[in-house]
Chain A
Amino acid sequence: AQKITQTQPGMFVQEKEAVTLDCTYDTSDPSYGLFWYKQPSSGEMIFLIYQGSYDQQNATEGRYSLNFQKARKSANLVISASQLGDSAMYFCAMREGRWGAQKLVFGQGTRLTINP
């Protein structure tokens, strides 16, 4: 079974609009973390934002915010005022494992294209 599900293979958005990228996860562990990474065409993985399972507030980092709905097991990424440079693959990932053995499990990704 998929532990991280990203249901949008591709998204097309007009520049300056806000966009929401969906992510749902599956775990029975009460302690976990959720990450979003950006992967431009050059290939590097760029960390965007993190949400811990015990965090009371939704995480925000500049134009990025994470809409964390724990009961629904969803962790959607919201990008406000999109820019052409936001065009890339976006991956949602969940941290599994305990101290010293933690790893990230990734979803299939969403390709975001920002149109001028």
Chain B
Amino acid sequence: EAGVAQSPRYKIIEKRQSVAFWCNPISGHATLYWYQQILGQGPKLLIQFQNNGVVDDSQLPKDRFSAERLKGVDSTLKIQPAKLEDSAVYLCASSLPLGAGRTGELFFGEGSRLTVL
């Protein structure tokens, strides 16, 4: 079974530029998450999708961050314009719903490391 795919792995941009990250979840996983992990901290949820609908985007800085999940499969996270404090690893994860003995475990991609100069 293929895991969660993310690209690019690394991106370096100047502040005020834009950047986009792509994620393809595990096949059949209806729920998709974008987490931001700043160096030395735990992951923080930015946005959660159930199929192609947004479940939780309460911590997404909507003035500069946007995300979409067209057709309920892959997803794109965009930052425009980027700030220095956006330097972080952006982790995409997917999961199956709870129930039928499932725990709600999140399966993570390798992450996209963003450096804003």
Which stretch of B11-19, B20-28, B64-72, B96-104 is in the interface?
B96-104
> Given the known A-B contacts A43-B89, A45-B91, A108-B42, are A101 and B105 also in contact in the complex, defined by CB atoms under 8 Å?
no
Q: How many pairs, one residue from A and one from B, have CB atoms within 8 Å of each other in the complex?
A: 69
CB-CB contacts of A74-116 with B at 8 A, as 1s and 0s? 0000000000000000010101001111111111110000000
> Given the known A-B contacts A107-B42, A109-B41, are A99 and B97 also in contact in the complex, defined by CB atoms under 8 Å?
yes
> Cβ of A108 and Cβ of B56 under 8 Å apart?
no
A104 to B108, CA, bound (A): 12
Report chain B residues within 8 Å CB of A101: 48, 50, 55-56
Interface size on B, as a range, is 20 to 34
Chain B: residues with CB nearer than 8 A to chain A? 30-31, 33, 40-45, 48, 50, 55-56, 89, 91, 93, 95, 97-99, 103-111, 113
